[in-house]
Structure 1
Amino acid sequence: MRGLVDDVADFAAEAARHGLPARRREATTRAVLDTVGVMVLGSTQPIRHTVLAVTGQWGALPESTVIGHPERMPGASAAFVNGTLAHCMDFDDTHLPSVLHPSSSVVPAALAVAEAAGTDGPRLLDAVAVGTEVCIRLGMAGYDEERRNSVFFDRGQHATSICGAVGSAVAAAMVLSGDAATIAAAGSIAASMSSGLIEANRTGGTVKRIQTGWAAHCGVTAAQLAVAGLTGPPTVLEGRFGFFRAFCGERAWPQRVTDGLGDRWHADQLHVKPYPCNHFTHTVIDAALELRRRGVRPAGVRAVELGVAEPVLRTIAEPAAAKAAPATGYAAAFSGPYAFAAALAGGGGLGVHVQDFDDTAVRRADVLELAAKVRCHADAECTRIFPDQLPSRVTVHLADGRTERVSCLSNRGGPGRPLTDAELDLKFSLNTGTGYDPADTAAIGQEIRRLTTTPDVRPTMKLLRTHHCGGMP
């Protein structure tokens, strides 16, 4: 019996055998560059100590690099730590309309096994590209086009980690084997490991920060088990007791996993985040930056009306009091009023950066005073566009009686408004500069861009092994 996972595996094996086009590899290099930069930034956060304390007890086989750590770890352990670092700052890329963050699990998983195996750069990039595509297609199979929302999210599930485990397994198996039967087994095994809840978005806790890391860990482990001979059911995705029925109930469209596979790439709809905060706030920041360009400053603002898509309100606007005065920097990253105020006040990086979302920044009196003046509401036009984009429309009433209006209906960093190479490099250098000096930052970036031709990824990973400045010890 054959199932959808076999069709996916055939495509992946073909890509591993013959390689993907140069254009696809170049696009994937941008995703790897962005994700590595975000991982370095994440390595400066306290969560790094938490996951290292645990993974350090799992074994000591020196296979794969952990960002900023002098000792290598077993591949699955390194994937877990690096996957956690990739997502913990909410600065990783996003696919719309599935609202998945595929690179934060697939890239760490593929890097870990590629380093352990001494894989060449092109094979690594092909594995990342296919694993990312599989992750996204699983998410799209659980996307309700009529309701314009993810069924996974409706049911309280973190689609990024659930789908990311399978995508990571496919990528890892492509690196380790390239054989269709092994890739199918890896994907099928990982489906039993998929997990992730998003209740932490509502009521707190730091567990969401590790979920992409756990997906990467699952992917590497599943691929290793598949290589060792473990198998899974061929109908693991579409079966009566399979992936989609378990996670989405009756509301799933499994055929989307393979429709147009190889001809249409959902990964072309990836959005690279310019700002280190929840993606729903990004056009809010864009609007604030446009108002700032027009000369508007916080002291001159009397009131702000912030219109967003109706489904976004529960994430970035409710409860209103908590969003107007976030308790922590991490909470501020999920606040529309705070993000608007921080950007209008003048932030770092490409408009706002990590220093605008730390525990000190959230106590700035001028930012909090402005955030308290922001009133959020559902905007019909924004709701119609969501979630193909995450739009916002802002009306600012000024103290001098004037009114300024800004509509931001598409996201910066998406396929319609991509970051330039210079902007992507700035984001990378700012993130990587938290752990490395400028010369090493430049060397790391150059090595990643050479992945399209490099014969061995291990020298690239060696550069990431130890922080040289700024990072946490």
Structure 2
Amino acid sequence: MGRLAALADRARSAGLGEELRTDVARRVLDVLGNCLAAQGQPSARAVTAVARGWAGMDAATGIGTGDRFPATTAALVNGTLAHSMDFDDTHLPSVLHPSASVVPTALAVGEATAASGAAVLDAAGVGIEIAVRLGMGGYDEELGNSEFFERGQHATSICGAIGSAAAAAMLYGLDTEGIADAMGIAASFGAGLLEANRTGGTVKRAHCGWAAHSGVTAAELARHGLTGPPTVIEGRFGFLHAFCGDRADVAKVIEKLGERWELPRIFFKPYPCNHFTHAGIDAACALRRDGLDPDEIVEIELGVPKPVLRTIAEPAAAKAAPESGYHAAFSGPFTVARALLGGSGLGVGHADFTDEAARDPRTLALASLVVCRSDNRCDELYPHQFPAVLRVRTRDGVWREARIDHNRGGPENPLSDAELTLKFDLNVEQRLTPTVARAVAEQALGLGSAESLGNLMLLVRS
């Protein structure tokens, strides 16, 4: 615990390197676009309505709401927005979406404290690093999966609360001891279950908002003297043992801490759907670029890592005919079908995950042909990649195949600044004019040299 707090304190004093700050600025742009795209979603309407009923100082922006809130409330709103479209970045193999809670925390507290852009990037970068390292502490190499996930726990929100607390504490100017107390307090606040992925409900979209809210609250409590246990991460009744039992690995949390950063290895999402579906989409797009006519298809096989099947392929009937646009985003058959039919955005986009799209007869007919199976090569690469192989047979009896080993948006197949900006533009095309969108992108990517967040947050407020 002390080493994590010391890392945060060093970064607060000395700052992160230029390369890491640039990486975080790209994540700020990504989160802003995801937040603006989520306006009108049920989770966004519900949480914003609750937030407007809470009294307090108007210190920070609720992105796209037209409102200002206390920092804790703004973090709740913006964290919910950031995760509502399932478009937020992913760390492998922990399978955390760290920026969706930590970046809203840093933006809320950074705006409330009039912090510089560089200080916000430093805080967000350290908070993200801490969150994913905690996630790695719950990853079991032998199992090939996160122990959090095996137990039905949403590691993104559980670990995100602690990473958010570190970011908020840095921006509040707390020292090593104070940062440790904030994280220690937040460890009691982290929560989130994954049952909504299986059987429905929109509460999962608010998990990152609650993690951000918990992190800011924990830091504020630490500022006023509340303390946390110094062994809250590694102790017998501490964070990792309580959540992951004997499979927890404390050593992974601190291995080469401050020397080898996980931050640049976090995958940006090019498509607004479950990350397990992305390689299948890439494969479908590749076949379509090669001239495949979807009307000629009579058989489709989607090969994925075995652990992925339960999320995007089971139960088979429900995945072939998802009950809503939200459920469609977790369906391997549906996402492959939409991509084969042309999709939208960078391959598939928001228009492919409306309730109307989920009822499209042509899409459902094609999705009904998809049989999902485990694939040995995919099993070897998982969970450091989420690979897929797509095999398609046409009426002439010919089989065509596309195999994707490296996910688009990751370090081996990255999105350029231009592609990331295009994703942002597609996210906000119904919310911002092209001129304002261009200004937001420029200011977000140049945040390291900004004196404050004032101009940027004004642009995205409404």
Q: TM-score, normalised by structure 2?
A: 0.99
Q: Secondary structure at the match of 2:403?
A: strand
CA offset digits 1:143-197 (Å, max 9, x no partner):
0011110000000000000000000000010111141111111000000101110
Letter in 1 for 2:310: R
C-alpha distance in 1 between matches for 2:354 and 2:111: 33
Report if aligned partners of 1:307, 1:377 keep a CA contact under 8 Å in 2: yes
Deviations 1:63-89 (A, max 9, x none): 110011222001111100100010011
1:187 corresponds to which of 183, 186, 189: 183
Residue identity in the other structure for 2:259: D
The question of whether the paired residues in 2 share the 8 Å contact of 1:12 and 1:178 is answered with no
Alignment of 1:158-307 (within 5 A): 158-307=154-303
Query: How high is the sequence identity, in percent, across the aligned residues?
Result: 54
- Runs of 4+ aligned residues of structure 1 deviating over 4 Å after TM superposition are none
TM alignment of 1:102-113, pairs within 5 A: 102-113=98-109
1:352 and 1:192 map into 2 onto residues whose CA distance is 38
Equivalent residue number for residue 55 of structure 1? 51
1:396 corresponds in structure 2 to: 392
TM-score by length of 1: 0.97
Asked if the contact 2:96/2:155 (under 8 Å) is kept, the reply is yes
Alignment map for 1:113-152 (pairs within 5 Å): 113-152=109-148
Counterpart CA distance in 2 for 1:366 and 1:257 is 47
Contact 2:31 2:100 in 1 (8 A): yes
Deviates more, 1:54-63 or 1:340-349: 54-63
Distance in 2 of aligned mates of 1:363 and 1:297: 21
**2:22 aligned partner, one-letter code:** E
Determine the C-alpha separation between the residues in 2 that align with 1:207 and 1:11.
33
Instruction: Quote the residue 1:469 is aligned against.
Output: none
Root-mean-square deviation over aligned CA pairs:
0.9
- Tell me the number of residue pairs that the alignment of Structure 1 and Structure 2 aligns: 462
Which letter does structure 1 place at the counterpart of 2:445?
Answer: R
2:322 to 320, 326, 344: 326
User: 2:43·2:203 contact (CA, 8 Å) conserved in 1?
Assistant: no
Q: Structure 1 unaligned runs (5+)?
A: 467-473
8 Å CA contact retained: 1:110, 1:172:
yes
Query: C-alpha deviations, 1:105-144, integer Å up to 9, x for none?
Result: 0000110000000000000000010000000000000000
Note if 1:6 corresponds to 2:2: yes
Q: Is the 8 A contact 2:35 2:64 kept in 1?
A: no
Map 1:402-421 → 2, pairs under 5 A: 402-421=398-417
Aligned residue in 2 for 1:21: 17
* Aligned-partner residue type, residue 346 of structure 1: G
Q: In structure 2, what is the Cα distance between the partners aligned to 1:143 and 1:241?
A: 19
Correspondent of 2:340 among 340, 344, 355: 344
Q: Determine helix, strand or coil for the equivalent of 1:147.
A: coil
Helix, strand or coil: the match of 2:192? coil
Map residues 35-114 of structure 1 onto 2, 5 A cutoff: 35-114=31-110
Structure 1 residues 291-318: Cα deviation after superposition (integer angstroms, max 9, x where no partner): 1011112210010011110000000001
Moved more, 433-442 or 75-84: 433-442
Following superposition, the deviation at residue 46 of structure 1 comes to 2.7
Q: Please tell me the residue identity of whatever aligns with 1:150.
A: S
Report if aligned partners of 1:120, 1:456 keep a CA contact under 8 Å in 2: yes
2:375 corresponds to 1:379: yes
| Structure 2: tracts of 5 or more residues without a match | none
Q: Match for 2:196: what amino acid?
A: A
Contact 1:44 1:435 in 2 (8 A): no
CA deviations over 1:217-245 (Å, ceiling 9, x no partner): 00000011111111100000111111011
Asked if the contact 1:16/1:178 (under 8 Å) is kept, the reply is no
Report how far residue 365 of structure 1 moved: 1.4
